[in-house]
């Protein structure tokens, strides 16, 4: 049969139409997005669930820029950091691995080696493999291969095992918490300047009062200038990317040192909150969120940028105690604070904005964990997780992020060594107690809470729900037995 020009045209039109419909289906499912979005992840340091009005209407601290971000995007009411302290939380966020599985704690930093192993891939690796330019600014706190103790730094040598060796193209920041001596800036693998000047800051003691912490800093480092310096670099990175007209997408992981102690608000924010240095510092954090959001809008990059804001864990105990005296509750209605297995230790603000993809002013009760970010980015880019087997505890919440579902059907969530969450049920070791021998724990050492009815974790239901308590304990002990500690 002879194929006429008309028939050829019809066949070609049919193929093009079919390809177009397939493209629409892929985009509608949320499994692949074209063009690939820029991604910015802002991580606050020790910001409590109750410090922002979006998660705590009773907050005494004004956070208008965070509130505006929520109006422009989606806010999660049941989002959780991977742990209730800095190092394991950041480890879980970047790797998709529950830190309980590998025994990552802040104390592991004393070993003088990088916390993230070479065979553990990060979200920076994932995105770099897809052609992203990957950048980090701010607090690392995941160690370096120093060959000795945590702070045995050789300033004449490269810092190995940090961001540049774990998937990032560029890095500017600090090695640990903002007040952890020695104080200096790192650029990629090298110290910008050697610590050579004496300095000090006042640290609050657990029982009240303060003590003077002394150490060395580099000539270019001042505590109250660190955060403004990081923010300026982040805004410059955004503007430079826009000016370059590059078709390459970028990922920015901005790990802010605010509002971790020492609370050193810059001059522009000193006294602004009316609630002490901590309140001023939170307002400064809010301002940097506004600056980054505004830079995206000014450059037009916001139209194809997924912007996420969250916190690495709950509020510090000193902030919680002092601010409560001022009628401000850093954890809001939640029990506990930083380092606690209760909700106040790891339930955190989590807001995502992406114009045209995320409905403005939306809210979700989906239960998500930092470890789930890895798989979410993978599904967003249509990448199989089998390519990244190390991210064992990551479960994509992309449907919840894009509004097609208000739930996130993930397996039970382990919060610290001795707490487990499944749906509304949560089993926790009584009084946040640690157990030296996990083989000898039993249900009598735990308390059971139904978080839908008891968000403050005040009513122990183990006596009324013995079967549920035992079921959760069995799952927790099974997970603990599978651990392979670093």
pLDDT the model gives residue 33 = 59
Any idea which architecture 35-409 has in CATH?
3-Layer(aba) Sandwich (3.40)
pLDDT the model gives residue 8 = 52
Token pair belonging to 185: 């800036």
Whether the bond between 182 and the residue before it is cis, its omega within 30 degrees of 0, is yes
Helix axis angle for 223-244 and 276-299, nearest 10°, is 10
| CATH 3.40.720.10 domain range(s) in the chain | 35-409
Give the integer Cα–Cα distance in Å for 310 and 317. 19
419-481 to CATH, choices 3.50.50.60, 3.30.1120.10, 3.40.50.920, 3.40.50.720: 3.30.1120.10
CB 16 within 8 A of CB 29: no
Other CB atoms within 10 Å distance of the CB of residue 219: 12
Gap between the terminal Cα atoms of the chain: 70
Rounded average pLDDT per 10-residue block, the chain, 486 residues: 48 45 39 80 98 97 98 98 98 98 94 95 98 98 85 89 98 95 97 97 81 96 97 98 95 98 96 97 98 98 98 97 96 97 98 98 98 98 97 98 93 93 97 83 94 98 97 95 92
| CATH 3.30.1120.10 domain range(s) in the chain | 419-481
Task: List residues with catalytic annotation.
Answer: 86, 141
Half-sphere exposure of 187 (CA within 13 A, CB side): 6
Dihedral angle sign, alpha carbons of residues 157, 119, 82, 350: positive
């Amino acid at each position: 049969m002879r194929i006429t020009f008309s028939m050829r045209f019809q066949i070609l039109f049919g193929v093009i139409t079919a390809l177009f419909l397939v493209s629409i289906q892929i985009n509608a499912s949320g499994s692949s997005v074209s063009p690939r979005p820029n991604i910015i992840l802002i991580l606050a340091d020790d910001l409590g669930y109750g410090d922002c009005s979006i998660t705590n209407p009773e907050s005494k601290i004004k956070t208008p820029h965070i509130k505006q971000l929520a109006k422009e995007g989606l806010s999660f009411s049941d989002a959780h950091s991977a742990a209730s302290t800095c190092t394991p939380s950041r480890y879980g966020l970047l790797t998709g691995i529950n830190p309980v599985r590998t025994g990552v704690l802040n104390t592991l930093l004393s070993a003088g080696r990088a916390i993230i192993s070479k065979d553990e891939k990060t979200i920076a690796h994932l995105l770099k493999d897809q052609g992203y330019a990957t950048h980090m600014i701010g607090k690392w706190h995941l160690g370096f291969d120093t060959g000795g103790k945590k702070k045995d730094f050789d300033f004449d040598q490269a810092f190995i095992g940090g961001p540049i060796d774990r998937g990032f193209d560029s890095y500017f920041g600090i090695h640990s918490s903002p007040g952890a001596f020695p104080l200096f800036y790192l650029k990629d693998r090298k110290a910008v300047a050697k610590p050579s000047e004496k300095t000090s800051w006042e640290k609050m003691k657990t029982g009240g009062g303060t003590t003077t912490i002394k150490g060395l800093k580099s000539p270019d480092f001042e505590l109250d200038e660190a955060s403004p310096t990081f923010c300026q670099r982040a805004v410059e990175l955004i503007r430079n990317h826009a000016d370059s007209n590059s078709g390459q997408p970028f990922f920015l992981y901005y790990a802010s040192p605010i509002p971790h102690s020492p609370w050193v608000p810059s001059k522009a924010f000193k006294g602004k909150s009316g609630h002490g240095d901590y309140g001023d510092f939170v307002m400064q954090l809010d301002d940097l969120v506004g600056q980054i959001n505004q830079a995206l809008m000014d450059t037009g990059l916001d139209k194809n940028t997924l912007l996420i804001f969250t916190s690495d864990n709950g509020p510090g105990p000193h902030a919680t105690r002092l601010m409560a005296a001022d009628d401000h509750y850093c954890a809001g209605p939640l029990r506990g604070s930083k380092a606690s297995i209760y909700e106040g230790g790891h339930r955190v603000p989590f807001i995502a904005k992406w114009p045209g993809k995320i409905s403005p002013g939306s809210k979700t009760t989906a239960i998500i964990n930092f470890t789930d970010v890895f798989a979410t980015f993978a599904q967003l880019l249509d990448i199989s997780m089998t390519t990244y087997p190390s991210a064992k505890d990551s479960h994509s919440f992309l449907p919840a992020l894009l509004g097609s579902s208000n739930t996130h059907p993930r397996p039970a969530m382990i919060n610290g060594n001795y707490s487990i969450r499944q749906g509304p049920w949560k089993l926790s070791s009584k009084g946040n107690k640690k157990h030296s021998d996990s083989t000898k724990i039993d249900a009598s050492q735990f308390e059971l809470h139904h978080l839908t009815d008891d968000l403050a974790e005040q009513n122990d239901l183990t006596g009324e729900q013995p079967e549920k308590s035992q079921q959760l304990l069995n799952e927790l002990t099974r997970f603990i037995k599978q651990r392979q500690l670093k």
